[in-house]
Structure 1
Amino acid sequence: MQNILILGCGNIAGLNESKKSSSTFSHAKAISKNSFFNLKYCYDINKKKLLKFKSKWRVKNGYSNFNDVLKKKLDIDIVIITSPTHTHYELLKKSFKLNPKIIICEKPMCLNLKHGLEIAKKIPKRTKLFINYQRRLSNSYIELKKIISKEKYGKLRSISSTYNKGLFNNGSHLLDIFNYLLVRPSFEIAARPINDYKSNDLSYPFFLKKNAISISVNVANARDYYFFNLQFVFQKKIIEITENEKKINYFTPIKTRTYKNFTNVKMEKTKKNNDQFDMGLVYKHLKIFIKNNKHSFLTDIKEEIKNLTILEKITNN
């Protein structure tokens, strides 16, 4: 059993998730469903949150002062950082002093490339650092990677996508998906952002490229509605991940009788996409890594540096 310390007792940690619902959106709930892991310690500077979280998930030990965590010499195998993004940089440096086997930090790892490169240099030899972009663990994206690499539907021609609620908050998920599927696409250009989420996290339209594959990213305004969709255009198929990733639509080319030598597309099938927010997948793949020392599909520090590099180019464009 792997003993876990959670740093940050807010929503993504599990503060407000129902223990009775069938969904698993938080770390604490995912841990509670996997007997390989033990949520033994928690930390938050907000004592009210700390006590509520500690009681709800029956965590034996809670701390509001990180010095106490360091002094106690706790039996920690894994550190999970679920605090706000602006705190990640300092908490990562503090976590290194605990010398855990694994650290999982919520995305993005930090707010600029300089801090990211500094963190990369300071990771203890014993410690493996992963960044939590759980969307890439969804079966739909794993299958897409196979389709692209094997050219199941011919060559991938282009990708178009739309997001909102901030480049760092939500757009970073897209960057990680593109890096996972295509391996380091290059930044081309960004357009004027909109403030639809927070003044310090604007939503930028931008354009990437990987060889002959064009990748366009548009923005919707989160004040109107939440939106996160993707479309992959292949030679012989179009795949849409739509309705905020709840459905996957497949379109296939057909010859039309109306016009000679004209090919149209029609809907072939639709299937549900149910696991894109399943935090349980993180711990499934983490267990695989621990037992087999196999990287699996988790985002490592090298991949996150790629993400941070493009994030910085977008905001500095």
Structure 2
Amino acid sequence: MSSKSFNVLLIGCGNMAAGFDLSHETEMPRTHASGYAKHGGFNLAACVEPDVDRRIETAKKWNIPLQFENTNQINEYKDAFDVISICSPTDLHLEHIKIAISLKPKVIFCEKPLTASLHESKKMIDLCNSNNISLAVNYSRYWDPSVNELAELIKQNYWGEIRSVVAHYNKGILNNGGHMIGLLQQLLGELKIISARNVYNDLCEDDPTVLALLNSIEGIPIYLNPTHASDYSYFEFEIFFSRGVIRMLNGGLSWQTQTPICHDQFTGYRKLSAPKVIDGKYFLSMSLAINNIYEHLANSQTLVCTGESALIIQKMCESIKITAAHTNV
């Protein structure tokens, strides 16, 4: 049990707020509610959710004493919450961030993307800063130990030179594509757009799933390959190094490596070894994000993924989207 306790308000009780841990009881939390509850340093004080069954189920599961149907009912609770988690649909984020700021929390923890508009995201970041409110955004791979370990190996040149990267995603360039762009930026740094075009809208009309060719600053080619969300969820990438291949599989739940070996059929040639698959550490991400917020509050630890981090991701997503739209004209 942590020595200090901070009060939390959940705005929205959907999948990322609570739902994934209502349907599957797991040791490692996948949602905001379970993350706060398992940490021990937070008190789930209130939740807001218009769906009555979902609201009651969430409150019952985590013993949340205050439950509200809409955000109009929480206006009188200024200074009552240290942390406000915003887990509502993206098109409500702007409204809910403004309401959260008016309640004067110490931290807002918002699901990605921050808002649907780059301009509005920038305004919300500025508003948080002017009100001395810390802003964290849940691009979850920023807290994924497997991703951070790979980033360190890349810095150490452990796998040699990067020859190319192929990344697969669906559900829109801003929605799930933002996760991939953020992940690629973590590993490779700043990205540049070579070309892009719209392929289809498999989530919503204003967020196309885009085919794109990118480059890192060092000139590493990166292929952003779309798949269709109506077929299945798909979020994977493969990096081709001079000393082998690394693949993130199933959204980071597992990782695969192959290294060059002498070919057993063709003298003088090399081939890749049989794949070695290990479990990923993605399910640690929510616990680490919540602990990062706790340490930020208790000991001034730097937040790993801030509003500014999210803005960099959103700028690249918007640039890809604009480039694709011009190509399709």
TM-score (norm 2): 0.88
| Conserved? CA contact 2:145–2:284, under 8 Å | no
In 1, Cα distance between equivalents of 2:275 and 2:228:
31
In 2, Cα distance between equivalents of 1:132 and 1:237:
31
Match for 1:58: what amino acid? Answer: N
The alpha-carbon distance between structure 1 residues 20 and 302, as it changes in their structure 2 partners (threshold 3 A), is: closer
| Aligned CA-pair RMSD | 2.2
Structure 1 residue runs without a partner (length 5+): none
Match for 1:152: what amino acid? Answer: Y
In 2, Cα distance between equivalents of 1:269 and 1:49:
41
In 2, Cα distance between equivalents of 1:33 and 1:257:
52
| Conserved? CA contact 1:23–1:278, under 8 Å | no
- Counterpart of 2:225 in structure 1 is 218
Which of 214, 227, 232 pairs up with 2:234? 227
CA deviation vs aligned residue, 1:33-56 (integer Å, no higher than 9, x gap): 111111111123444433332233
- Counterpart of 1:173 in structure 2 is 179
Post-superposition offset of 1:301? 1.6
Which of 277, 280, 283 pairs up with 2:287? 280
- Indicate the structure with greater helix content: 2
In 2, Cα distance between equivalents of 1:178 and 1:102:
27
In percent, how many aligned pairs have the same letter? Answer: 26
Q: SS at 1:240's partner residue?
A: strand
- Counterpart of 1:192 in structure 2 is 198
- Counterpart of 2:320 in structure 1 is 314
In 2, Cα distance between equivalents of 1:182 and 1:5:
36
- Counterpart of 1:250 in structure 2 is 257
CA deviation vs aligned residue, 1:166-207 (integer Å, no higher than 9, x gap): 223211110111122223212222122213333343311222
In 1, Cα distance between equivalents of 2:201 and 2:50:
29
The alpha-carbon distance between structure 1 residues 101 and 302, as it changes in their structure 2 partners (threshold 3 A), is: same
CA deviation vs aligned residue, 1:229-264 (integer Å, no higher than 9, x gap): 110112212111124433211111223365565332
Alignment of 1:44-193 (within 5 A): 44-123=49-128, 124-193=130-199
CA deviation vs aligned residue, 1:62-110 (integer Å, no higher than 9, x gap): 2234343222334211110000011111211221112211111001111
- Counterpart of 2:307 in structure 1 is 301
Post-superposition offset of 1:281? 2.6
The alpha-carbon distance between structure 1 residues 173 and 126, as it changes in their structure 2 partners (threshold 3 A), is: same
TM-score (norm 1): 0.91
| Conserved? CA contact 1:163–1:171, under 8 Å | yes
Post-superposition offset of 1:144? 0.9
Q: Does 1:6 align with 2:10?
A: yes
- Counterpart of 2:327 in structure 1 is none
Alignment of 1:265-276 (within 5 A): 265-267=272-274, 269-276=276-283
In 2, Cα distance between equivalents of 1:46 and 1:268:
46
Match for 2:74: what amino acid? Answer: V
Residue correspondences, number: 316
Post-superposition offset of 1:305? 1.2
The alpha-carbon distance between structure 1 residues 262 and 15, as it changes in their structure 2 partners (threshold 3 A), is: closer
In 1, Cα distance between equivalents of 2:137 and 2:159:
31
Structure 2 residue runs without a partner (length 5+): 324-329
